[in-house]
């Protein structure tokens, strides 16, 4: 378990992290999302001891992360693999040697049959059996990130940290990498912490997510709780939600559909039952892991609002009046 307790950090006069507290449970895929400059990468680097922090405490499995205690830090780092936006492979080493590199740092022999078997197993886990002796420059971006993932797993870590790992990849390749991360989480039981500014990443794999804004945690929870019905202004802005495109006359009512709610003809039923027409002015369907979440904005006369709300309550549909 990673416990981040009131962590503070400043660069010169800028406060990058202001009193951040997050608990990340064993075995989960946890997302840290926010605009660039929100401090999310800095936070991840603090967890790994690549960066020091000025206040509070980070512990990994109850072991405090302090950059000055080199010996202890190394021990913690061994338990944490890390992958990066820029892949960061050694250009002069081939795939096999890149994957084996962390073992060399730990003085683990890499030419024993067991070591060879392990390295080749990881390479085939990430699907690069054909490229064992290729150099990074012969690989595509997605393949490079796969090598980096295999490298991050070679010391048998309990935690995998991903720093914008898919930001340099196109959507199709990103999906493949995310599926691989999910597989690693499920089959190997590795806790994964994902730092990203891409909603797609959070929606596709994260079980829980923290939204960071200007060095503070704005909200923590399941992605569908945070993003289908965002209450915080910053999160709405981040999602570039409907707010500025809606009609300025009448009332705007937002409806939410979870799971089976998606299969019911609620709007047409409501229209028939209340004998009124509604203007559908905005709608969205989103996948969160395996589930689909929908939201829909109706524009109507003020006088119809009360009846509409009563109807929606009777059908167990969640709704909200969008404030102007």
Closer to other proteins by Cβ: residue 104 or 233: 104
The C-alpha atoms of residue 94 and residue 133 are separated, in whole angstroms, by 5
The C-alpha atoms of residue 274 and residue 36 are separated, in whole angstroms, by 46
> What element of type H or E holds 14?
strand 14-24
Size of the residue set binding other proteins (CB under 8 A): 28
| Least distance in angstroms from the C-beta of 51 to other proteins | 10
Q: Does 106 bind other proteins (CB under 8 A)?
A: yes
| Least distance in angstroms from the C-beta of 233 to other proteins | 34
Secondary structure of residue 69 in the 3-state scheme: coil
Q: Does 102 bind other proteins (CB under 8 A)?
A: yes
The C-alpha atoms of residue 52 and residue 59 are separated, in whole angstroms, by 13
Q: Does 84 bind other proteins (CB under 8 A)?
A: yes
Closer to other proteins by Cβ: residue 167 or 271: 167
Site track for other proteins across 157-196, x = CB under 8 A: ----x-----------------------------------
54, 104, 179, 277: residue in contact with other proteins (rule CB under 8 A)? 104
Joined together, the tokens standing for residue 92 give 């002069």
Q: Does 101 bind other proteins (CB under 8 A)?
A: yes
Secondary structure of residue 31 in the 3-state scheme: strand
Of 215, 72, 79, give the one whose Cα is nearest residue 159. Answer: 79
Helices (H) and strands (E) in the chain, counts: 11, 14
Report the interface residues with other proteins, using CB under 8 A.
48, 50, 73-75, 77-78, 80-82, 84, 86-93, 101-102, 104-106, 148, 151, 155, 161
């Amino acid at each position: 378990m990673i416990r981040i307790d009131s962590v503070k950090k400043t660069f010169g006069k800028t406060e990058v992290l202001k009193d951040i507290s997050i608990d990340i449970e064993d075995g989960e895929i946890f997302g840290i999302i926010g605009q660039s400059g929100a401090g999310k990468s800095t936070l991840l680097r603090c967890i790994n001891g690549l960066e020091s922090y000025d206040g509070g405490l980070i512990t990994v499995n109850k072991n405090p992360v302090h950059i000055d205690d080199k010996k202890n830090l190394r021990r913690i780092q061994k338990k944490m693999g890390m992958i990066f936006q820029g892949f960061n492979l050694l250009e002069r080493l081939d795939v096999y040697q890149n994957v084996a590199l962390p073992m060399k740092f730990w003085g683990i022999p890499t030419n024993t049959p067991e070591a060879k078997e392990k390295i080749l197993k990881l390479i085939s886990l990430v699907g690069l059996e054909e490229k064992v002796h290729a150099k990074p420059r012969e690989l595509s971006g997605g393949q490079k990130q796969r090598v980096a993932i295999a490298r991050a797993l070679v010391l048998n870590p309990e935690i995998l940290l991903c720093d914008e790992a898919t930001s340099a990849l196109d959507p199709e390749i990103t999906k493949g990498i995310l599926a691989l991360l999910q597989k690693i989480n499920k089959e190997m039981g590795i806790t994964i912490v994902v730092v990203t500014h891409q909603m797609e990443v959070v929606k596709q794999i994260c079980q829980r997510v923290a939204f960071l804004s200007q060095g503070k945690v704005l909200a923590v929870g399941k992605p569908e709780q945070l993003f289908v019905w965002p209450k915080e202004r910053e999160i709405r802005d981040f999602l570039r939600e409907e707010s500025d495109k809606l009609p300025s006359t009448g009332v705007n009512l937002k409806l939410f559909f979870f799971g089976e709610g998606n299969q019911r003809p609620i709007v047409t039923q409501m229209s028939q039952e209340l004998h009124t027409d509604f203007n559908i002015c905005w709608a969205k369907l989103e996948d969160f892991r395996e589930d689909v979440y929908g939201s829909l904005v109706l524009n109507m006369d003020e006088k119809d609002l009360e009846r509409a709300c009563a109807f929606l309550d009777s059908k167990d549909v969640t709704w909200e009046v969008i404030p102007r």
